[in-house]
Amino acid sequence: MITRPALLLCASAIALACTGCGTSHDRHSYDIGRGVSADAHRIAQNSGSADMTESCREAVRARFSSELMFRDSPAGIDMPSAIAGCVDAG
């Protein structure tokens, strides 16, 4: 018979393991990406490119251009999540 503390420990381990399951995005970054989707459409239209992912990458980088001058990624922003939000809003 399994004791209650052992059962709770197993349940906690399973719950912790499942947090890595699937694709999850940083919600704040994702929402910012959704907000720049109009800019990404404009970039795609002006460049004649059909690659929305690349247009979104450029639009997100433009949104944070002042911060990106000094570091690789903006503070508190997950760039892949922001780009995914932009593409999904497309």
Tell me the pLDDT of the chain (90 aa) as tens digits: 566 555 445 455 554 444 444 457 789 999 999 999 999 999 999 988 888 999 999 999 999 998 888 888 788 889 999 999 999 997
Q: How many CB atoms lie within 10 A of CB 90?
A: 15
| Domain boundary assignment for the chain | 25-89
pTM, two decimals, is 0.67
Give buried/exposed letters for 74-86 (b at 16+ CB in 10 A, else e).
beebbbbbbbbbb
Please give the Cα distance from 64 to 48 (Å, whole number).
23
Please give the single-letter amino acid code of residue 77: I
